[in-house]
Structure 1
Amino acid sequence: MVAFGALFLVIGLVLAGVSVSFLMNAERARGTVVALEWRDDPDHVSGRKRVDDGPVAYPVVEFTPAHGTPRKFRNSTGSNPPSYEVGERVEVLYHADSPEDARINGFASLWLLPLIFGGIGLLTAGIGTGVALATRARRRVL
């Protein structure tokens, strides 16, 4: 259990490092949400739909890089209810050498996955460590 938690914690830290690196090297541009792409997202673990899930809205954003032509991208993070409305102005982060690698400058786009993996890792490793210490203490008493 501790090893499983440590693995998830490491994955969370790697994902956080990727987000920090992206932020440090990203160019900024103004974009506009031009559509919401509704998708029925399957349960990623089992491949089956969960009963309580409805469709998820992914914002489609159009922006113009500093030295380029207008581009569109679908944000990697969706939600229900939608986090953005069609016509809403957003800040876009992108790499100058690859503007197709773009994200909305928002909490979910940058930090949701690192927090989920890191949180699960901390919780699992903490519980595993607590159980191991309690077991060790009980063996010493007996």
Structure 2
Amino acid sequence: MSVSYVVNGERASGTVVALEWEGGHTGGSRKSRSGNEPVAHAVVEFTPTGGAPTRFREFTGSNPPAYEVGERVDVRYRADSPEDARIEGFATLWLLPVIFGGIGLVIVGVGTGIALFGRGRPRN
């Protein structure tokens, strides 16, 4: 998904017009847990090339908010569906691929180590 935004995506300048808060304490124990913290999602407005102003809600959220209302951001979007856009930044475009790629490399490394260790042992 991220590669298609970078390779095939269009660029535009956008503005954070709102923050939508999600999650938070739902009752029960009063002890603070990190899973109970609300997160803020940026709502961004931009104008695609030859199109009307478009808004989207960034799928990643954070607490504290990563963006402020009124902040200018770079946007990547698909020309055929501009409402499917992302803020151009490391976390939104690359964080998940890096995490899963790293996990994959660890698994391949462990598998390779086991195969090489098993191959070097003499057989009876």
Distance 1:80 1:141, change over 3 A: farther
Runs of at least 5 residues in structure 2 that lack an aligned partner in the other structure: 25-32
Alignment partner of 1:140 is 2:119 = no
Supply the distance in 2 between the matched residues of 1:24 and 1:141 (Cα, whole angstroms).
51
Equivalent residue in structure 2 for 1:121, among 91, 104, 115: 104
Larger radius of gyration: 2
Give 3-state SS (helix, strand or coil) of 2:91's partner. helix
Supply the distance in 2 between the matched residues of 1:38 and 1:103 (Cα, whole angstroms).
18
Alignment partner of 1:62 is 2:45 = yes
Give 3-state SS (helix, strand or coil) of 1:123's partner. helix
Supply the distance in 2 between the matched residues of 1:40 and 1:126 (Cα, whole angstroms).
37
For residue 81 of structure 1, report the CA deviation from its aligned partner: 2.1
Match of 2:16 in 1: 33
Alignment partner of 1:97 is 2:80 = yes
Supply the distance in 1 between the matched residues of 2:107 and 2:65 (Cα, whole angstroms).
31
What whole-Å deviation, never above 9, does each CA across 1:92-116 have from its counterpart, x for those lacking one? 1112221111111111111111101
Give 3-state SS (helix, strand or coil) of 2:40's partner. strand
Give the length in aligned residue pairs: 115
Equivalent residue in structure 2 for 1:111, among 89, 94, 113: 94
For residue 126 of structure 1, report the CA deviation from its aligned partner: 1.0
- Following superposition, which runs of at least 4 residues in structure 1 exceed 4 angstroms of deviation? none
For residue 59 of structure 1, report the CA deviation from its aligned partner: 0.8
Give 3-state SS (helix, strand or coil) of 1:73's partner. strand
Give 3-state SS (helix, strand or coil) of 2:86's partner. strand
Supply the distance in 1 between the matched residues of 2:99 and 2:51 (Cα, whole angstroms).
35
Corresponding letter in the other structure for 2:34: D
Greater relative contact order structure (CA < 8 Å, 6+ sep): 1
Q: TM-score, normalised by structure 1?
A: 0.71
Q: TM-score, normalised by structure 2?
A: 0.80
Supply the distance in 1 between the matched residues of 2:52 and 2:7 (Cα, whole angstroms).
23
Q: CA RMSD in A?
A: 2.0
Runs of at least 5 residues in structure 1 that lack an aligned partner in the other structure: 1-17, 42-50
